[in-house]
């Protein structure tokens, strides 16, 4: 199961599908309020329960889970709260806690008032390094996100503190980080290192897009 980032859809995984599908049957899905999914919860728990409902509907008793950014936050919640369901876990460019909460509340208010365009440039600057050849298609992808869905996801991150959940994760876990990611930070890297080996890629926040082959290879070796 592949779980995407804030402000993207299942299309985020296109650069990795061919490589991963050689070994896995893939399930890609959209978070609530992203793509064509209706806006829903304002908590990571709510996002995680939605992922479990999807797995139940597909009759997936146990599954490997790979989440990037927001998707990784969902992965932490799942592995801690439904450990019997998670066979293997890959957490990419994510964090168990991203304070201060105010920055997420303010971002939610900004997109409700002025639309995704209000935050698009700042977000895309964090997604990729300056070496990435053409971020424009991904900026357009971000702009297609419904503002209310994006805002509710921001509120979920604002309220999130999964640090205690890390101690309850028993699934074999691989952590992938971008060496130039401005989002995760040293403290979250230290916390995630308790779960398993960390692989750093020469990328910013969307490492699966910026370094698709290396990202897929790391997932396949997990």
Average pLDDT over all residues of the chain = 97
Q: What's residue 53's pLDDT?
A: 97
**Rg of the chain (C-alpha set):** 16
How many other β-carbons are positioned within 10 Å of the β-carbon of residue 216? 21
With a cut of 90, say whether residue 197 has pLDDT above it: no
Q: What is the pLDDT of residues 135-151, one digit of tens each?
A: 999 999 999 999 999 99
pLDDT band at 39 (very low <50, low <70, confident <90, very high): confident
- One of 3.20.190.10, 3.40.50.300, 3.40.50.1820, 3.30.300.130 is the CATH number of 2-221, namely 3.40.50.1820
Is pTM beyond 0.85? Reply is: yes
With a cut of 90, say whether residue 40 has pLDDT above it: no
Let me know: does 89 contact 174? Beta carbons within 8 Å: yes
């Amino acid at each position: 199961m592949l779980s995407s980032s804030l402000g993207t859809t299942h299309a985020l995984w296109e650069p990795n599908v061919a490589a991963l599908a050689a070994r896995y049957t893939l399930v890609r899905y959209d978070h609530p309020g992203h793509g064509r999914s209706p806006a829903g919860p304002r908590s990571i728990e709510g996002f995680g329960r939605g992922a479990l409902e999807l797995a139940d509907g597909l009759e997936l008793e146990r599954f490997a889970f790979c989440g990037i950014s927001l998707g990784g936050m969902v992965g932490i919640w799942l592995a801690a709260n439904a450990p019997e369901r998670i066979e293997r876990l890959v957490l990419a460019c994510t964090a168990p806690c991203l304070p201060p909460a105010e920055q997420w509340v303010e971002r939610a208010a900004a997109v409700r008032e002025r639309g995704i365009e209000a935050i698009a440039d700042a977000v895309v600057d964090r997604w990729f390094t300056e070496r990435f050849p053409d971020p424009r298609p991904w900026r357009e992808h971000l702009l297609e996100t419904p503002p209310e869905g994006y805002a509710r996801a921001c509120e979920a991150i604002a309220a999130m503190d999964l640090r205690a959940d890390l101690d309850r994760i028993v699934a074999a876990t691989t952590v992938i980080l971008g060496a130039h990611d401005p989002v995760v930070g040293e403290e979250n890297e230290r916390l995630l290192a308790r779960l398993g080996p960390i692989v750093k890629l020469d990328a910013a926040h969307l490492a699966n897009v910026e370094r698709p082959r290396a990202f897929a290879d790391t997932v396949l070796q997990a």
